[in-house]
Structure 1
Amino acid sequence: MSLNPSLKKVLTAAALLGSLFAASSVFAHAHLKSQIPAANSTVTDPGELRLVFSEGIETTFSTVKISRDGEDVPVKNLATKSSDKKTLIVTPEVALEPGTYKVEWKVTSVDTHKSAGNYSFKIGQ
């Protein structure tokens, strides 16, 4: 049985689109969409940081390093709310004092892809 040439074109196009969608999901990673405090902002001590990603995050396999003027700031806790796995809540162990802070993150998304990045903000006096 041979296929109608028009139907053959439609099926070929559908197969091509399907493979493109599958390929794009294979290369998906959790990208940082926003953060509090915002990158390059000057704020008072926020008490906690919130990193919002494009995908859900596995906290068990993720790390966040905070440093102030080159000195590490201990992190007490990394968490997500059960209803929002895309927002990583980072709680420093101590109050953040005035200075320039660098936040370096390495996360594993719920689909096991890894991504990393960093940003900076300032605590004003």
Structure 2
Amino acid sequence: MAAALLKKVLNTAALLTLMAGASAAFAHAHLEQSTPAAGSIVTSANELRLVFTEGVEQAFTKVVLTRDQAPVTVSSIKTEPANKKVLIVTPAHPLPAGTYQVKWNAVSVDTHKSAGDYSFTVSN
């Protein structure tokens, strides 16, 4: 009887371990932090840094930046070489005063897709 109980406990522990690993494997890259921060007011912005909860695939991750609903030209979107969780978005020119909307679609290194948006303001 003790052996049967031990077997049940071990099977349950093994199942819980597998389930915990599966949920981590199916995670998505969520935006953890941004610079400029969501909802912030800054005096200048030469680049945006989006920090995700896991690495993103640069080639399949898109960011659209608009100012007062007009598209803003972006010269590059790259992951930081040492940290694939950090996406660096460089506008073609320093951002003038206005309200900016950032819309992102990320593909994590495990190929899961996620999307979101936020806004910030540049003031002089």
TM-score class normalised by the smaller sequence: over 0.9
Identity %: 52
State yes or no: 1:35 paired with 2:67: no
Residue 53 of structure 2 corresponds to 54
Residue 109 of structure 1 corresponds to 108
Q: How far, CA to CA, are the matches of 1:59 and 1:43 in structure 2? A: 26
Residue 78 of structure 1 corresponds to 77
Unaligned runs of 5+ in 1: none
SS in 2 for 1:51: strand
State yes or no: 1:93 paired with 2:92: yes
SS in 1 for 2:59: helix
SS in 2 for 1:4: helix
Q: TM-score, normalised by structure 2?
A: 0.93
State yes or no: 1:7 paired with 2:44: no
State yes or no: 1:118 paired with 2:117: yes
By how many angstroms is 1:3 displaced?
A: 8.4
- Structure 1, 79-88 or 69-78: larger mean CA deviation: 79-88
Alignment RMSD: 1.6
Which amino acid is 2:119 matched to?
S
Q: TM-score, normalised by structure 1?
A: 0.92
SS in 1 for 2:110: coil
Q: How far, CA to CA, are the matches of 2:58 and 2:2 in structure 1? A: 51
| Ranges of 4+ aligned residues in structure 1 off by more than 2 Å | none
Q: Deviations over 1:1-56 (max 9, x none)?
A: x9812321222212321231133124300010000001111102220000000000
SS in 1 for 2:93: coil
SS in 1 for 2:13: helix
